[in-house]
Amino acid sequence: MLRKIIKQGHNTLTVTLPSDWVKKFNLKQGDEISIFEKDNGLFVSSEKKDYEKKTEINIDGLDIPTIWKYLMGVYREGYDQVTINFSQKDLLENPYKFLTRHKLDPKFRREKVSML
C-alpha cells in the first residue's frame, strides 16, 4: 500500500497509518507504537520492540584509532548492544590521550604535575 509523506513544521515528515490496521489493534490517539529500521525498511508494531540490534567486535590486534572507528560506527548505526571481545594480555595506551587535540588535562597524566 502506498502512503504520501506529509510535511509538518520545518523538519518533520509524517506518514499516516492505515485505518484497518489501527482498528485491528484498537489503537487510539496517544497510544505508543514501535518503529524500528532493518536493512532498507521500517517496521511498525503495536507491541513493544522485541527486536534489538546486537553486534560483536573483536579488538585484538587493533590500534586505538581503528577501535574508535568501530565504536563510532556501531553507535551511528544505532546498535542496542555491543559485545567487545579482547585478550587481557594486551595493554593499550590511554585512549583519552589519542582523542585530545589540546593540552592534556593534568588528571590524566601519568607523572605528577604541580598546580602552581
Give the CATH number of the domain where residue 15 resides. Answer: 2.10.260
Query: Which amino acid makes up residue 54?
Result: K
Same structural domain for residues 62 and 81?
yes
Does position 63 have pLDDT exceeding 60, yes or no? yes
Read off the pTM.
0.40
Same structural domain for residues 36 and 71?
no
Provide the percentage of residues in the chain whose pLDDT is more than 90. 19
Is residue 96 domain-resident?
Answer: yes
Q: What is the DSSP letter of 8?
A: E
**Lowest mean pLDDT segment, chosen from 34-48, 54-68, 101-115:** 101-115
> How far is the CA of 75 from the CAs of 56, 79, 101, 106, in angstroms?
13, 6, 22, 29
What local confidence, expressed as pLDDT, does residue 7 receive? 93
As given in the structure block, the three cell numbers for residue 106 are: 593534568
Does position 106 have pLDDT exceeding 70, yes or no? no
Beta bridge pairs of residue 7: 13
Q: What is the DSSP letter of 65?
A: H
**By residue range, what is the domain housing residue 30?**
6-45
What local confidence, expressed as pLDDT, does residue 49 receive? 52
